[in-house]
Amino acid sequence: MPEPLTPGELLALDRQHVWHPYGPMPGKAAPLLVGSASGVRLRLAEPVEGQDELVDGMSSWWSAVHGYNHPVLNDAAHGQLERMSHVMFGGLTHEPAVRLAKRLVDISPEPLQHVFLADSGSVSVEVAVKMCLQYWRSLGKPRKQRLLTWRGGYHGDTWQPMSVCDPDGGMHELWQGALPRQIFADAPPAGFDAAPDEAYAAHLRELIGRHAEELAAVIVEPVVQGAGGMSFHSPAYLRVLREACDEHGVLLVFDEIATGFGRTGALFAAEHAGVAPDVMCLGKALTGGYLTLAATLCTTAVADGISRGALPVLAHGPTFMGNPLAAAVADASISLLLSQDWGQEVKRIETGLRNGLAPAADLPGVREVRVLGAIGVVQLDHEVDMAAATRAAVREGVWLRPFRDLIYTMPPYITGDDDVARISAAVCAAAREG
């Protein structure tokens, strides 16, 4: 065993050597040191604000839908570990990857039949983009290599995904000019239940029609735009995109990395609209938050198109493609999800968040409170004071990670009613202090 390090030593080394997401080097704000996690609780290595454990309102960036240290997922991981943690996927295959792929085909919208297993959400978006561009190249239309999206989106931090993130005010604004230049529609009008705006639908149709010659694909997050602003829109616009893409010969990609596996109240957000994309990206909750894994699914038409090209293969193959450990846990996580009335759990959390967050609407500085499925959002009329808001939540015994003007929660589906109430109270406290 290595020499144990004290919490103080760990935090000092962390600050000196370790990058954190979107962080400076050396680090500024001290992260909380987590020793273990179980159920919906993170146990801190040393108490902070008098708390030695925190109810997790974030599901570790929306992935840990079953909570932590779940016996079923632990068993799946242990069992697979005894067989093999990893083997290469070139020239070899294995049961966990085959089972998972078949399962994803079975539960996703019907036309999606083929699965590329990638190692992170951003990579699955890169693969989706490559699929679309290569499809048109293979069909002799190499000019079709741009993407269209609507503003307010987020698709990851690698190069192609960054090019379709919201170009203004987001984390990737710095790279304007260096990134491929894509085509941006206005952000979709807000409100899941709002009546569709005909003028906006016409705007989408016009833009897709005008750029059809150079468009490979339209890529959007269906129903919920996550890290780009936690906003909800009417599923009707997804039907508009589907129709316009079909009419003008453009592929449609749904990035369901945040929305997949029940978060919005449907297993996949595409189901709210009753349309299927040509390509779909999954990630985050895919392994129940245990391991990094993502998937890009496509239709047989897309796969066939690629196979007809001068280069009849999809030239992509990460070292850890199809990782058996991650695939086995993902399959167990999906089984676990489907073995229960997950829709009822998400509804229960939705009701709890609606009740618990309602008081926030009356707080000074709050612009809007919105809830959809197991997603609760309080939007301020100013940039949140992240340190103050986080501290306020920790004082309530809850872990939240606000950003921009948003204090939000996406709790694990196993969060009990009392803990949903506690998370809601913490969001309100964070809104008051932030």
Ligand X SMILES: *Cc1c(COP(=O)(O)O)cnc(C)c1O
3-state secondary structure of 184: strand
CB-nearer residue toward ligand X: 67 or 156 = 156
User: Rounded CA gap, 37 and 55, in Å?
Assistant: 10
Give min distance, CB of 163 to ligand X, in A.
13
Give min distance, CB of 156 to ligand X, in A.
4
Give the pair of three-digit tokens for residue 384: 């949140």
User: Rounded CA gap, 164 and 427, in Å?
Assistant: 30
- Answer for which of 53, 126, 166, 221 binds ligand X (CB under 6 A) is 221
CB-nearer residue toward ligand X: 226 or 305 = 226
Applying CB under 6 A, does 120 fall inside the site for ligand X?
A: yes
Give min distance, CB of 233 to ligand X, in A.
14
E strand segments, 373-415: 375-380, 398-399, 406-409
Give min distance, CB of 259 to ligand X, in A.
7
Sorted by sequence, the CB contacts under 8 Å of residue 134 that are 6+ apart come out as 306, 309, 311, 314, 315
The answer to whether the annotation marks 373 as part of a ligand binding site is no
Single-letter amino acid code for the residue at 179: L
CB-nearer residue toward ligand X: 127 or 257 = 257
State the catalytic residue, choosing from 130, 278, 284, 331: 284
Residue of closest CB approach to ligand X: 121
Does the active-site annotation cover 284?
yes
Sorted by sequence, the CB contacts under 8 Å of residue 323 that are 6+ apart come out as 85, 86, 117, 119, 291, 293
Sorted by sequence, the CB contacts under 8 Å of residue 247 that are 6+ apart come out as 209
Give min distance, CB of 327 to ligand X, in A.
16
Does the active-site annotation cover 246?
no
Give the dihedral sign, CA 189/194/200/205.
positive
The answer to whether the annotation marks 121 as part of a ligand binding site is yes
CA angle at residue 411 from 29 to 298, to 5 degrees? 100
The answer to whether the annotation marks 28 as part of a ligand binding site is no
Give the DSSP H or E segment for 366. Answer: strand 366-372
- Of 178, 241, 250, nearest to 214 (Cα)? 250
- Answer for which of 152, 222, 226, 262 binds ligand X (CB under 6 A) is 226
The answer to whether the annotation marks 283 as part of a ligand binding site is no
Sorted by sequence, the CB contacts under 8 Å of residue 367 that are 6+ apart come out as 379, 380, 381, 405
Applying CB under 6 A, does 154 fall inside the site for ligand X?
A: yes
Neighbouring CB atoms inside 10 A of 362's CB total 9
Neighbouring CB atoms inside 10 A of 15's CB total 17
Q: Which residues in 330-389 contact ligand X (CB under 6 A)?
A: none
From the list 96-104, 116-124, 319-327, 384-392, the region that binds ligand X by CB under 6 A is 116-124
The answer to whether the annotation marks 205 as part of a ligand binding site is no
Does the active-site annotation cover 200?
no
Binding mask 249-268 vs ligand X (x if CB under 6 A, - otherwise)? Answer: ------x-xx----------
Applying CB under 6 A, does 155 fall inside the site for ligand X?
A: yes
Contact call for residues 389 and 402 (beta carbons, < 8 A):
yes
User: Rounded CA gap, 108 and 352, in Å?
Assistant: 28
User: Rounded CA gap, 278 and 313, in Å?
Assistant: 18
CB-nearer residue toward ligand X: 272 or 422 = 272
- Answer for which of 131, 162, 207, 227 binds ligand X (CB under 6 A) is 227
State the catalytic residue, choosing from 255, 331, 405, 419: 255
Give the pair of three-digit tokens for residue 314: 């999809």
- Answer for which of 260, 283, 288, 434 binds ligand X (CB under 6 A) is 283
Does the active-site annotation cover 154?
yes
Q: Which residues in 122-141 contact ligand X (CB under 6 A)?
A: 122, 125
The conformation of residue 31, written as its DSSP 8-state character, comes to P
State the catalytic residue, choosing from 68, 135, 154, 413: 154
The answer to whether the annotation marks 60 as part of a ligand binding site is no
Please state the residue numbers annotated as binding site for substrate.
Answer: 61, 154, 284, 317, 401
Q: Which residues are annotated as a binding site?
A: 61, 121-122, 154, 255, 284, 317-319, 401
Residues with a catalytic annotation lie at 22, 154, 255, 284
Residue numbers at the binding site for ligand X (CB under 6 A): 120-122, 125, 154-156, 221, 226-227, 255, 257-258, 283-284
